[in-house]
Amino acid sequence: MERILTLNIGATRLALAEFEVRPGKGPNLLRYTFGDLPDGAADTPETFGVELEQALRGMMSASGIRPGRTLVALSGQMAFPRFVKVLAESPEKMREQIGFEVEQNVPFPLSEAIWDDALVGQPDAGEQHVMIVAARADLVGAIGRGLINAGCEPELVDVAPVAIYNAVRFNYPDAEGCTLVVDIGARCTNLVFVDQDRIFYRTIPVAGNTITAEIAKTFGISFEEAEALKRERGLVAQGGAFAMADPEDDRLSKVIRNVMTRLNAEISRSIAFYRSQQEGNAPVRVLLSGGASQLPYMQNFFEEKLQVEADFLNPFITVGYPTGVDADQFGRDAFSLPVLVGMALRRGLTCPVEINLVSQDVVARKEFRRRLPFFAIAAAGLVVIMGIWLIYVGRLGSLYRDQCEVAQSSIGRYEALKARYDKADKAAQEAEARAAAYRALLNGRTAWMKMLVAVDKAIPDGLWVTNLAAKREGTALQGLNLSVSVWRDIEGRLSAKGKTIDETVAAALAAQPVFAADTKDIPISKKTQMDWLTSFDITATLRELPKPQAQTSRKARRSRR
């Protein structure tokens, strides 16, 4: 049995919980608390760590939660998600494709990013859905420093929508069809599609603060006054000719409904995108979570607009919670705790989707702590050895002092010679490495020119190459990937007897001495035919693949001589 902490970092709000976890079983909530962050604190990573540390210390002091190992969830706005599809090939090939997608889709330099990915669902039609999540390294690093300075050791860093997905899968294991979770926070709303073993989520910048700002604008009051008015008297107006007895309450409810109508429009567009672009299913139910979802008649609003059953997300259906708390208060707070529950599940169970954006500084710190016992044993052994050595030297020093002085003089001369030799050997190795690199470049250039000449000979006049790229295995050149097109009206004339135009080109490539002689090793990966044009892709592999040249050190060559 183990005690862990989970932390949900929102735009202006923190949620911290302490759980008791056991391997293979659901977690048990012990206590929880909430805290506040300055608005826009996460926008300045330079100071965010300090602000996070101060907020955490105050929360733990007020709630009695002791520092410990902490699992962190970032707000949806703090991380960048991208859902892509790759060819369902070997794990190594898929890793290459995912790496390429990361380079193409992450909107900031990879040197400034921390990213992770997860396979989503099962392969379909030879393609695998992949979720990529990236965050700025400076922000994640600031969070890690803030936690460590507050006495909390960060174990992993996830994102709130993924934690919500895991919480729903664990608490609603028998739910059929697609479930849409609408998590309405302060600055953003997370839309999480829980479609059996598939996940898709979007972050929409229409949320609780949007409602507050609209109230402040309509009533001509400050943001703080508008927030208090929303909490005390706010509700979502009903559709049709419904009107409240109090004109001010009626006006307030309609302002809130207007904002929710804007949010619903974004939700409808997200559903359409998910169904058309991600090949997902239409939601059959809606689960609400987040502080702003507690406004009266919010459930009725979504049932009216989306025409599906709407309910509030209960993250404690199969998760234990404390019984000695205020039931009414806990019932209200429970809507803000799904992320904390989803993070706690990561400790004792294997979750359907697992993302970890922990920084390398934290990884190095954990590795150092893991090795501390071995360092202590080694230090103790060193102390013992040194003690024995000192006793030995003390007893025999007078007998061997002269011999030691002679030996030390000889060692000094040999050390000087060894240093000169090591310097020369290092320079020779560097020269050998540069020579090997030049040889590899020359060999690659020669192979590339041979392949271009072979392609020119193999492609009949009338066809044109629309794309030509090198096929590599690591840094070694393996062959060519080329795309060829031809007008349909001359295709038959250019095709060999009994063969289609793509088979003709593949056979011509196989006849070239530089490419594989067997046409089965020159696959046609894709062929597209239109009324006026035929296009196809061919992968031509080198007949003799380059073999890595073994490098031998000067010491090894000298020992053979």
Tokens 């490495």 map to which residue? 433
Residues in Cβ contact with 8 at an 8 Å cutoff, skipping those fewer than 6 apart: 14, 15, 16, 73, 75, 160, 163, 339, 340, 343
CA distance 211 to 231: 11
What is the mean pLDDT of the segment spanning 370-380? Answer: 66
Residue 247 in domain: yes
Which pLDDT score is estimated for 11? 84
Q: What is the pLDDT of residues 428-450, one digit of tens each?
A: 888 888 888 787 777 767 888 88
Residue 233 in domain: yes
519: its two tokens: 């046409």
Q: 3-state DSSP helix/strand/coil percent for the chain, to nearest 5?
A: 50, 25, 25
CA distance 133 to 200: 12
Residue 379 in domain: no
Residue 499 in domain: yes
User: Where does a domain end: 261, 279, 314?
Assistant: 314
13 alpha-carbon distance from chain centroid: 23
- From residue 521, alpha-carbon distances to 89, 458, 510 in Å are 17, 16, 9
Cβ neighbours of 288 (radius 10 Å): 22
Confidence category of residue 311, pLDDT binned at 50, 70, 90: very high
What is the 3 state secondary structure string of 526-555? Answer: EEEECCCEEEEEEEEEECCCCCCCCCCCHH
Give residue 234's domain range: 173-314
CA distance 312 to 181: 9
Amino acid 451 reads: M
Specify whether the CB–CB gap between 166 and 26 falls below 8 A. no
Specify whether the CB–CB gap between 253 and 263 falls below 8 A. no
Burial letters for 163-195: b for 16+ Cβ neighbours within 10 Å, e otherwise? bbbbbbbbbbeeeeebbbbbbbbbbbbbbbbbb
Phi and psi, residue 271, nearest 5°: -65, -45
Cα diameter, the chain: 110
Residue 161 in domain: no
Provide the 3-class DSSP secondary structure of residue 22.
coil
Determine what percent of the chain is predicted with pLDDT higher than 90. Answer: 57
Integer distance in angstroms from the first to the last C-alpha of the chain? 63
Q: What is the pLDDT of residues 59-86, one digit of tens each?
A: 999 999 999 999 999 998 899 999 999 9
| 127-136 β-sheet, strand order | 79-87, 127-136, 113-124
Residue 146 in domain: no
- CATH number reported for the structural domain that contains residue 180 in this entry: 3.30.420.40
Residue 204 in domain: yes
Tokens 């970032």 map to which residue? 74
CA distance 418 to 412: 10
How many independent structural domains does the chain possess?
2
- From residue 272, alpha-carbon distances to 51, 181, 245, 267, 284 in Å are 40, 16, 38, 9, 14
Specify whether the CB–CB gap between 45 and 109 falls below 8 A. no
Q: What is the pLDDT of residues 525-537, one digit of tens each?
A: 888 889 899 999 9
User: Where does a domain end: 274, 294, 314?
Assistant: 314
Confidence category of residue 364, pLDDT binned at 50, 70, 90: low
Tokens 């955490």 map to which residue? 56
CA distance 540 to 553: 36
Parallel, antiparallel or unpaired: strands 309-312 and 283-289: parallel
499: its two tokens: 């063969």
Q: What is the pLDDT of residues 13-39, one digit of tens each?
A: 899 999 999 988 889 999 999 999 988
Specify whether the CB–CB gap between 244 and 257 falls below 8 A. no
Specify whether the CB–CB gap between 286 and 302 falls below 8 A. yes
Averaged confidence pLDDT in the chain: 88
- From residue 520, alpha-carbon distances to 88, 267, 542 in Å are 21, 49, 13
Phi and psi, residue 149, nearest 5°: -65, -25
CA distance 286 to 179: 6
Phi and psi, residue 523, nearest 5°: -75, 150
Which pLDDT score is estimated for 6? 96
Q: What is the pLDDT of residues 34-49, one digit of tens each?
A: 999 988 888 888 999 9
Which pLDDT score is estimated for 359? 77
What is the mean pLDDT of the segment spanning 230-237? Answer: 92
Parallel, antiparallel or unpaired: strands 153-159 and 178-184: unpaired
510: its two tokens: 């196989």
Phi and psi, residue 6, nearest 5°: -125, 140
Confidence category of residue 252, pLDDT binned at 50, 70, 90: very high
Specify whether the CB–CB gap between 368 and 153 falls below 8 A. no
User: Where does a domain end: 314, 341, 374?
Assistant: 314
Residue 397 in domain: no
Nearest to 297 by CA among 230, 235, 232: 235
